[in-house]
A and B are shown apart, each in its own frame.
Chain A
């Protein structure tokens, strides 16, 4: 029995682990950390698997030993317990043995930490992300008009295959920036400047991100997307962003909405137009975004109208919090809301 356990446990464990890994990486979650899509999360996963295997082997071995002990030494009539008080050699042995096991995971850990301090490639793209209750703002210094800032919100657009370094700020409480498939999390803390681990996305696509530090009532609904584009698409997007929208065709809903947007321009900005409010999210190229309301609803006409009309029916905003007003209380009628929605979704790169 003991021999069997000694030999088979590690093998069994590895087999089980392989099965678990296969199941996990096949899991369809868009936030699966075992399905990395960047160099950063890939390097984390290597250590992740190592520590998972080590922990599982130790765990199964100790559990198996315990089961063996309690079966072997269950009370039997006529067999008294051996009065053992201890064994110094054994105890020293199992004080030292864990140190070696810990070195197996400790050394790669230190190596990884040293790696995070390395400088990124020279063509690194610098982005600033600011957490707000309950949305994300992204600023690309120097990429805007005349070398100014290019600002967008809730959907971070980045080029594939280039180092990305995100500097993190917060406007109110502690938030945490996390895109499980692209980069591990780092907190956004008011009054401090944190830098996210540099990462380099493998392939274009839409990745899910979410605030990972409890930040108040609507914390669960503070999400975002990372849109990884090819270099060419990324440039197109940035140029269109700076160029601003073409004037909508007169007489259309979008044209009426562009006038009606004056109600919104105190808080929201659309680059290339008169709307330059900086209290709420920047809405330039809104029609390009896949989601609205900080990554919680698909960007459809119906959702957008509902959101503009009454954000509080969609996001739990506590009383007194600084957030977008409710507009379907008579401030705007349904037609006006529909016009503004049409205008926003006309803001595309084409």
Chain B
């Protein structure tokens, strides 16, 4: 039959490396995202430790200025694009179909494609280290420092192309989740019955599809500037304006902050009810506040630019919108606290991390309001106070929230429980290490330590606090080691989890741990927000169907990884082209053709292999 469009036979085996590389199962893709994000978390963490050792003493010469600059550039880029975003994606992938009662996402192969683009883009950018060219432009890469004139090596090329590749994958994932959530909910799963995590995913997906285009354009301009000598940011005398980059970057960059933090808010909103044994306080307000935050998030970008001389009008307007965003954020925090009221609270590890999230994120939010005040910002901008602030939001917020989610859903993902005692040690070490690391940074900012400096003079009075900070960083590292031990121990000899170890209320806990690849043997009908707690809501599922009646699921496909690979290699060809025109053009042309061929293969390939389908029917 013509159905087999591939050059190679379609891989159908359920195990082995090949199965993972061609999988379109949202749960496996989630695991891939999660494991990759954790790998980059370790990498980004080591980059942070290098910086902390360097800064532990004044006038330190442990690493060179260029190395240090590469460390903070890649630490920032890695943690934002290769850790927190894919960790969020891991949760979206695993949970959204389970929570809304679907068997997969709307476009399973596009989903795989997003992951491979992310992985290849991330590897591509980090590949620059092997080429002895370290991106050292800061994670927001201000023009014109990124131009050929000021960064001579092609490290910046790896950075800009890597981000472009990852951005395409992320945008595709955004579409995928919007469609999945809007179109694939089980009967009775109205929008206002969705778990808050699904709501936050929907908002994040919309943020992604509206915030990434400005970034893509900015990166495209920069790519053209660097490879084809255009004049977007470089030709200052001829009218180019470096501020254009800053506007484009932050129009993306501020919504990006909410892309990073909203998944954690969703996780916490679902963890709290389980461990207080009561419904979330003010569900609709929490959802509505998330929507308002997303809208306002597009109107605050210039608060990153108060010191660029926008003038009093712009500063006043953006100061006001930035303060306004504190209102919906505050509403969420108050509603979470009110959820605790009247509860029957048990302090399992997921709950501890959720409480850690609420308290640390709130502190980060408050310091954020401080630099919404332009006067104060003129003293805080680009100091360690800012570094402290966004780590309270992104580490105390996002990472604590993600940890809460890991402890909460690990049993569902693997079928094994994580150790509670080890989890508690992990939490307390991380909380203490986190505050030792980032609380003194506020004071360092106040006493005038700028960020991104690889050294400081002894008479500045920065040394003592920096030593505390560095010590704290190593405590965080220790807590991560304990987490690794916990995971390894659990995978080997963890207690079996059972379907619903936390006696939670949402749909994913109604099926086996780990779930079958088809998730739900029979798609459930939903009648309330907390179906498993609500006696009237009959979602108790019939037993799994006999094997020959299993639902037909999409089969694996190798086209997504091939398309992602060829796109990344076209970017690689561009870099080769700078040195060897013909070799570069050859790579670009051959990879372009391969990509086109693969797209056709993908489009014409049926979702289920016919050989496979015929077994079942």
- So, do A and B actually touch in the complex, CB under 8 Å? yes
Q: Which residues of A are at the interface with B, using a C-beta cutoff of 8 A?
A: 24, 27-34, 41, 43-44, 47-48, 51-52, 55-56, 58-59, 62-63, 65-66, 69-70, 73-76, 79-87, 90-91, 94-95, 98-99, 102, 105-106, 108-110, 112-114, 116-117, 133, 168, 172-174, 176, 178, 180, 184-187, 189-192, 194-195, 197, 208, 210-221, 296, 316, 318-320
Residue contacts A-B, CB under 8 angstroms, 29 given = A32-B447, A34-B447, A41-B379, A48-B376, A48-B379, A51-B369, A52-B370, A59-B362, A82-B343, A83-B278, A83-B279, A95-B327, A98-B331, A102-B324, A109-B373, A168-B309, A174-B142, A176-B382, A184-B375, A184-B378, A186-B309, A191-B241, A192-B241, A192-B309, A210-B450, A212-B382, A213-B142, A214-B69, A217-B66
Assuming the contacts A33-B447, A73-B276, asked whether A174 and B370 have C-beta atoms less than 8 A apart, the reply is no
Contact of B447 among A31, A79, A94, A174 (CB under 8 A): A31
CB-CB < 8 A to A216: which residues of B? 145, 150
Complex contact B370–A66 (CB within 8 A):
no
Whether B10 sits at the interface, judged by CB under 8 Å, is: no
Report the bound CA distance from A66 to B339 in whole Å.
11
Assuming the contacts A84-B342, A186-B378, asked whether A62 and B362 have C-beta atoms less than 8 A apart, the reply is yes
Complex contact B460–A29 (CB within 8 A):
yes
Complex contact B307–A187 (CB within 8 A):
yes
CB-CB < 8 A to B454: which residues of A? 220
Q: List CB contacts (< 8 Å) of B362-402 with chain A.
A: 362-363, 366-367, 369-370, 372-376, 378-379, 381-383
Nearest 8 CB-CB pairings of A with B = A31-B448, A184-B378, A82-B342, A220-B453, A194-B309, A316-B65, A29-B461, A86-B282
Whether B338 sits at the interface, judged by CB under 8 Å, is: yes
Report the bound CA distance from A290 to B338 in whole Å.
59
Q: List CB contacts (< 8 Å) of B78-96 with chain A.
A: none
Least CB distance from B278 to A in Å reads 4
Report the bound CA distance from A86 to B375 in whole Å.
38
CB-CB < 8 A to B343: which residues of A? 73, 81-82
Whether B335 sits at the interface, judged by CB under 8 Å, is: yes
Complex contact B378–A73 (CB within 8 A):
no
CB-CB < 8 A to B145: which residues of A? 173-174, 214-216
Whether B456 sits at the interface, judged by CB under 8 Å, is: yes
Least CB distance from A164 to B in Å reads 16
Report the bound CA distance from A180 to B385 in whole Å.
13
Complex contact B309–A189 (CB within 8 A):
yes
Whether B334 sits at the interface, judged by CB under 8 Å, is: yes
Assuming the contacts A83-B279, A102-B326, A220-B65, asked whether A55 and B309 have C-beta atoms less than 8 A apart, the reply is no
CB-defined interface of B574-611 with A at 8 Å, one 1/0 digit per residue? Answer: 00000000000000000000000000000000000000
Report the bound CA distance from A71 to B211 in whole Å.
42
**How many chain-B residues does the 8 Å CB contact rule pick out?**
92
Least CB distance from A169 to B in Å reads 11
Q: Which one of B102-110, B312-320, B517-525 is at the A interface?
A: B312-320
CB-CB < 8 A to A43: which residues of B? 375
Complex contact A55–B447 (CB within 8 A):
no
CB-CB < 8 A to A48: which residues of B? 375-376, 379
CB-CB < 8 A to A105: which residues of B? 323, 369, 373
Complex contact B370–A51 (CB within 8 A):
yes
CB-CB < 8 A to B279: which residues of A? 83-85
Assuming the contacts A80-B277, A114-B312, asked whether A29 and B242 have C-beta atoms less than 8 A apart, the reply is no
Q: List CB contacts (< 8 Å) of B217-246 with chain A.
A: 236-237, 239-243
Least CB distance from B402 to A in Å reads 20
Complex contact B285–A91 (CB within 8 A):
yes
Contact of A174 among B242, B340, B378 (CB under 8 A): B242
Contact of A187 among B309, B331, B383, B461 (CB under 8 A): B309
Whether B535 sits at the interface, judged by CB under 8 Å, is: no
Complex contact A66–B138 (CB within 8 A):
no
Report the bound CA distance from A220 to B68 in whole Å.
11
Report the bound CA distance from A32 to B448 in whole Å.
5
Least CB distance from A6 to B in Å reads 15
CB-CB < 8 A to A79: which residues of B? 344
Whether B333 sits at the interface, judged by CB under 8 Å, is: yes
Whether B353 sits at the interface, judged by CB under 8 Å, is: no
Least CB distance from A300 to B in Å reads 15
Complex contact A173–B382 (CB within 8 A):
no
